[in-house]
Structure 1
Amino acid sequence: MAREKLAKEAIRAELAGLDGWSLAKDGGSITRTFTFKNFSEAFAFMTRVALAAEKMDHHPDWSNVYKTVNVTLNTHDAGGLTALDFDLARKMNRYFGG
């Protein structure tokens, strides 16, 4: 099931194929900062991600200041990282890249 906490080896393997993301100091979440040309682009990205996240029933911890979106992903009910986190991170990377 997607909400099963991943082992450290699986997390390392997932991160190896995921550009721009890093393991947080706590080891239980992944983080990335996205920088856009302006606020409108940042907000459009967040809107697109919000719609995908809602469909997945998996929501990011994030913040936006002007053209920067900071994201932290983990699965609270699993107590760490799951496949859902990496699925959402890949979607975010695709949306960021166009």
Structure 2
Amino acid sequence: MTEKLSDETRKPLLAPLFDTGWALVDGRDAICKTFVFDDFVEAFAWMTRAAFWAEKWNHHPEWSNVYKTVEVTLSTHDVGGLSTLDAKLARKMDSLMG
């Protein structure tokens, strides 16, 4: 079962994500990032690859796509905040960019 990140685990899991452009969401225990691509097809292809992992891990992002930009917010609704699943999916999304 997934648990909300403890004070001890937050910094080591989240600090590397902040270095890649993720940020805390104001007013809630969540992280967000804006991904920008060359065009709509590239953005949608990335979303398709990310969706595969989200489904495999049963952890689905809040996201929206406008043309070549994808806005992503991650939080684990079952625990009311950030969990290791959010950090895992964020790392995967970053890796799918390269």
1:14 Cα deviation (Å)? 1.6
Question: What amino acid is aligned across from residue 53 of structure 1 in structure 2?
Answer: A
3-state DSSP of counterpart to 2:78? helix
Relative to the length of structure 2, the TM-score reads 0.92
Whole-angstrom distance in 2 between the partners of 1:23 and 1:8: 15
Distance 2:8 2:49 in 1: 31
Distance in 2, Cα, partners of 1:95 & 1:32: 14
Give aligned-pair identity as a percent: 57
Q: Give structure 2 stretches of 5+ with no counterpart.
A: none
Q: Is the 8 A contact 1:75 1:85 kept in 2?
A: yes
RMSD over aligned Cα, in angstroms? 1.1
C-alpha distance 43-63 of structure 1, shift in aligned 2 (>3 A) = same
SS at match of 1:52: helix
Corresponding residue SS for 2:60: coil
Match of residue 66 from structure 2: 65
Contact 1:15 1:22 in 2 (8 A): no
**Deviation (angstroms), 1:27:** 4.2
Q: TM-score, normalised by structure 1?
A: 0.92
Letter in 2 for 1:79: G
Q: Which runs of 5+ in 1 are unaligned?
A: none
Greater CA drift, 11-20 or 43-52: 11-20
| Offset at residue 8 of structure 1 (A) | 3.6
User: Match of 2:32?
Assistant: 31
Question: Distance in 2 between the 1:71 and 1:9 partners?
Answer: 25
Q: Deviations over 1:15-44 (max 9, x none)?
A: 211111011112410000000000000000
| 2:23 is the counterpart of 1:22 | yes
Size of the aligned set, in residue pairs, is: 96
The question of whether the paired residues in 2 share the 8 Å contact of 1:23 and 1:30 is answered with: yes
